[in-house]
Amino acid sequence: MQPNPSERDPYNGLTTLQPTLPSTAYWDADAYRHDLGAIWYRSWLMVCRETDLAEPLAFRTFRIGSQEVVVLRDETGSLRAFHNTCRHRGSQLCQESAGLLTCPYHAWSYSLRGDLVRVPSKSLPEGFDKADYQLYRVALSVWRGFVFVNLAEDASGSAESAFDRASGDLSNWPLETLVTGHLLTKVMNCNWKIFWENFNECLHCPGVHKDLSRLVPIYGRGLMARHDDPEWTHHADNDAPEFSGRLRAGAETWSRDGHVHGPVFPGLTPTERAAGQTYATSLPSMFIVGHVDYMRTVRLVPLGPEQTELTAEWLFAPDALGKTDIDNIVAFGTQVLEEDAAICEVNQKGLRSMRHEAGVLMPEEYDLHRFHDWVRGRQPHMNPNQNDFGR
């Protein structure tokens, strides 16, 4: 006996009243320090792609909160990551203008494996052993051409294990071989959690993303998926875009005109092509979206309680760049990101009200509740009687 649709695919929405995180979580300096210590310094964070460090001796530095990390490729081709700190007196080690792994202050030098190999002092103190002063190692993991680091000394798992279990399957997209066609970096005047909240709902889509809502008609209904509608069973067999979540009739991808502008990835299934967009998320630092002819990544870095850096990359097959109208694609994606950034900043401005202690979630914001639970689960200082709610 086959289960009926309501048994097989239940309604997604919240059915009980749920408050948001406290407003102080988005602007208070102590709350920001808790975010850094409990989340950003203990999670797998995407920092770059392997191709950004293609050659031996290549290196890049990254700042996460107050922590600076150097990621490099050693002479054997292996990727390594270290705190960008000399073991002598704590000077910043790598600079664009300085020699790799030679401290610009007192010239302590390290191998690309992090071993201390040279101390220029005329004599060494009794008991000093270079082996005791290796660089501070940072856990590193590579997932399909993306480089992740984890600042925790006891880091466990891997970049792959950090992806949301509800993420879409990107196995059929050729991630490892794609190249960057466009890069956008933007500083948003909002807390990093505000951006993720915006990402996890589409109640804002009809008013904020008018062009996107025309491209993805279900977004124009303020919904992300078929089962967000409490009356979805009335349209369970209707595959029209406003119910199924597919792109509008005649559209193939996210672009200004809805058309592809280069070769379509050959390995995609008919379902993946019809969907229009497939998302995979790795909190707190990134998400990636698969379209039929390109992919987009968005990376976040917190710069302060009320400021976040966003870096977006548009990725294409190497042989597609000369055949693809990148401007048509990039302009649409940039428009959506700019709209999101602008409304996130509006959200941030209102949270300072002395009367606003917390907000309330609507049924369609079930993924916000899931995100809030993810944050609460990593924030032991939060009062469990105030804002710790199970699903």
Residues 339, 65, 36: CA angle, nearest 5 degrees: 90
Question: Which candidate, 263, 258, 271, places its Cα nearest to that of 316?
Answer: 263
- Return the pLDDT at 388: 34
Label the pairing between strands 18-22 and 79-83.
Answer: unpaired
- Return the pLDDT at 391: 24
Q: 172-201: b or e for each residue (b if 16 or more CB lie within 10 Å)?
A: ebbbeebeebbebeeebbbbbbbbbbbbbb
Cα–Cα distance between 86 and 133 in angstroms, integer? Answer: 9
pTM comes to 0.92
- Return the pLDDT at 98: 53
Question: Domains in the chain, ordered, with CATH?
Answer: 18-41+163-382 (3.90.380.10), 53-143 (2.102.10.10)
- Return the pLDDT at 109: 95
- Give me the residues of the chain with pLDDT under 70, please: 1-9, 96-99, 380-391
Label the pairing between strands 146-150 and 18-22.
Answer: unpaired
Chain centre to alpha carbon of residue 344: 16
- Return the pLDDT at 100: 76
Query: Could you tell me the two tokens for 365?
Result: 């914001």
Cα–Cα distance between 60 and 46 in angstroms, integer? Answer: 13
Helix, strand, coil percentages, rounded to 5, for the chain: 30, 25, 45
Beta-bridged to residue 290, according to DSSP, are: 278, 295
Residues 6+ apart with CB under 8 A from 156: none
- Return the pLDDT at 99: 58
- Answer for the pair 153, 164: CB distance below 8 angstroms, yes or no: no
DSSP 30-47: HHHHHHIIIIITSS-EEE
Q: Which residue bears the tokens 């914001």?
A: 365
Cα–Cα distance between 232 and 240 in angstroms, integer? Answer: 13
Query: Could you tell me the two tokens for 380?
Result: 């032991």
- Return the pLDDT at 390: 28
Beta-bridged to residue 355, according to DSSP, are: none
With 0-12 / 13-18 / 19 or more C-beta atoms within 10 angstroms meaning exposed / middle / buried, residue 10 is exposed
Residues 6+ apart with CB under 8 A from 234: none
Q: Which residue bears the tokens 């997932």?
A: 143
What's the one-letter identity of residue 201? E
Q: What is the mean pLDDT of the chain?
A: 92
What's the one-letter identity of residue 221? R
- Return the pLDDT at 95: 81
- Return the pLDDT at 97: 52
